Chain A
Amino acid sequence: MAEYNLWHEFKKGLWQEIPPFRIALGMCPALAVTNSATNGIAMGLATFFVLLCANISVSAIRKIVPSQVRIATYVVIIALYVTVADMFLAAMFPPISKALGPYVPLIVVNCIILGRAEGFAQKHPIVPSIMDALGIGIGFTLSLALMGSIRELLGFGSILDIKLLGNWFEPWIIMILPAGAFFVFGFLVAIVNYLSSKKPAETHGH
């Protein structure tokens, strides 16, 4: 266990490999449900939960799953946790569940979760897999919260339903339409690329 730099496994999901800006996975929910900060955070947390549980499970059974059927096995495992998340949201937060619609069940085919299972959890012990899921999951949640906040601020003049901009502000309807998601996503990718190209030393540190 000592050979793993747990802090690094955690930290990489927050900047170096932050989805969906650095690793362009999970773009479907990032574009589809970020029309408000609440929806973005809820989607991010649901994905986070599924990712964490899936990484632990996949890592735990990594030595007994035949490689020929591994993808199918992972999908079944992920589907289990997605069902849990879906039912939890429907029971506890019906309005959010309604707003997210089919995108919660669609976490099953979210590339981030399958990507981390295939790319990390199946090769590493449980503890580093947990750190990996924590980093990527928090990174994804923060990304969706940021996109949702920007779109809600410009499209409604509020964040988390708190009115921030006064009546002088004429909302940009386009920001809560799908086209606005692409604008915001493109801008954020550009900003992230610009920042990481400026200080390459820091991203490769430690």
Chain B
Amino acid sequence: MEETKQEKPIEQPKPVPKEPKENPIDRLVVSSSPHFSTEDNVHKIMHTVILALLPACAASIYFFGLNALFLIITCIVACMATEYAFQKIRSKPVTITDGSAIITGILLALTLPPSFPLYAAVLGSVVAIGLGKQIFGGLGYNIFNPALLGRAFLQAAYPVLITTWSEPLTKAAKQGIDAVSAATPLALMKFEHKITPHLDLLFGNTAGSLGETSAIAIILGGLYLRYKGYINWKMPLGYFGSIAVFGGIFWLVNPLKYPDPLFHMLAGGAMLGAWFMVTDMVTTPTTPIGQWIFVIVAGFLVVIIRLLGGLPEGVMYSILLMNAFTPLINRHTRPKVFGEGGQGGLTG
């Protein structure tokens, strides 16, 4: 008898949720946030980003031929294989189908020179996914942009290979040769003070990394992402604005020595970085002020490295450096919760 009495108060609440439709009080749902959900999920976002990267891939294959295609495929396969291996070893659910490893592979390939050896690209992919992402706990936990981390590793490991550029096929074919080694527009600007025409930069008819050449293909992809609502205007435009302002200051001081702001925006990796790396959801600040700080300082670093540093290009290091500061920026620019602060706040 005693046992049944004890059970009763536990059984009683159960029938209440089972007859919800007639009792109006049940429409009053008490739950914690989030209260709204969207149809977006990791799959959908990642596949949209892949779609947005396709024009840039197509442009790179057009300008650099099969080399570019092989590089892109190698990086994608190596990234997915690394992700699979790491998640198997750590007995975690395997998430290679969510598309994030594919994006890392494509982005890494787009930062490499067309003549880059494939085995080195595999090494970069392993570092990008292994050290850049899975070591930290996988997608969403990584501090640094995985593709850029892989690129930085390759830059330090193979400093010669990664700065061996060749002219696009469109130019080499005119001279009747298969491949011509050449300097990138930024290196020409920095070491020989030659400015590449803006139109060449816009369409991609220059030497450089796969994704450094055709600005217009990347802009197309970026606009598509903006149309889908996965990136905001602030990040790419703030980054360009910062590069233009700081680059413009140098240009106004000495127009003969320093290139104009438009050159800064079109040349090198600024286009790819602005649309696809500064806008990364994981490794950039989430607060509105923090995002401004991120893009402005990153743009400043690009100009400083390009014009005053030892390297011709500074986009990679500017973004990686700011990635490192992202947690700090997030913490110090957190908006006030409603009712926080002040003296009479309810939440105290």
* Residues of A in contact with B (beta carbons under 8 Å apart): 170, 172-175, 177, 179, 183
List of B residues within 8 angstroms of A179 by Cβ? 156
A170 pairs with B161, CB closer than 8 A: yes
Q: Could you list some 15 contacts between A and B, CB below 8 A?
A: A170-B117, A170-B120, A170-B158, A170-B161, A172-B123, A172-B157, A173-B156, A173-B158, A173-B159, A174-B153, A174-B156, A174-B157, A175-B157, A177-B156, A179-B156
Mostly, the A contact residues are helix
Complex: A22 Cα to B157 Cα, angstroms: 28
* B251 CB to nearest chain A CB (Å): 34
List of A residues within 8 angstroms of B123 by Cβ? 172
Interface string of B132-173 (1 = CB under 8 A from A): 000000000000000000000100111101000000000000
List of A residues within 8 angstroms of B131 by Cβ? 183
List of A residues within 8 angstroms of B159 by Cβ? 173
Complex: A175 Cα to B156 Cα, angstroms: 9
Complex: A172 Cα to B160 Cα, angstroms: 11
List of B residues within 8 angstroms of A174 by Cβ? 153, 156-157
Nearest to B119 among chain A residues (CB) is: A170
For the complex, count residues of B whose C-beta is within 8 A of A. 10
| Contacts A172-B123, A183-B131 supplied; 14 other A-B pairs, CB < 8 Å | A170-B117, A170-B120, A170-B161, A172-B157, A172-B158, A173-B156, A173-B157, A173-B158, A174-B153, A174-B156, A174-B157, A175-B157, A177-B156, A179-B156
Most B C-beta atoms less than 10 A away, residue of A173, A174, A177: A174
List of B residues within 8 angstroms of A173 by Cβ? 156-159
List of B residues within 8 angstroms of A177 by Cβ? 156
Cβ < 8 Å to A, chain B residues 80-137: 117, 120, 123, 131
Nearest to A155 among chain B residues (CB) is: B157
The 8 A-B pairs at the shortest CB distance, nearest first, are namely A174-B156, A172-B157, A174-B157, A173-B159, A173-B157, A170-B158, A179-B156, A177-B156
Complex: A179 Cα to B153 Cα, angstroms: 9
* B311 CB to nearest chain A CB (Å): 15
List of A residues within 8 angstroms of B156 by Cβ? 173-174, 177, 179
Complex: A183 Cα to B117 Cα, angstroms: 23
Cβ < 8 Å to A, chain B residues 267-315: none
Complex: A179 Cα to B155 Cα, angstroms: 12
* B270 CB to nearest chain A CB (Å): 25
Complex: A175 Cα to B154 Cα, angstroms: 11
Most B C-beta atoms less than 10 A away, residue of A170, A175, A177, A179: A170
List of A residues within 8 angstroms of B153 by Cβ? 174
Complex: A45 Cα to B159 Cα, angstroms: 34
* A50 CB to nearest chain B CB (Å): 34
Cβ < 8 Å to A, chain B residues 14-69: none
* A190 CB to nearest chain B CB (Å): 9
Nearest to A183 among chain B residues (CB) is: B131
Complex: A15 Cα to B175 Cα, angstroms: 64
Nearest to A187 among chain B residues (CB) is: B131
Complex: A173 Cα to B157 Cα, angstroms: 4
Most A C-beta atoms less than 10 A away, residue of B120, B123, B153, B157: B157
Complex: A173 Cα to B162 Cα, angstroms: 12
Complex: A172 Cα to B162 Cα, angstroms: 12
* B255 CB to nearest chain A CB (Å): 37
Complex: A174 Cα to B156 Cα, angstroms: 5
Complex: A36 Cα to B161 Cα, angstroms: 23
Complex: A170 Cα to B124 Cα, angstroms: 14
Complex: A179 Cα to B123 Cα, angstroms: 16
Complex: A170 Cα to B117 Cα, angstroms: 10
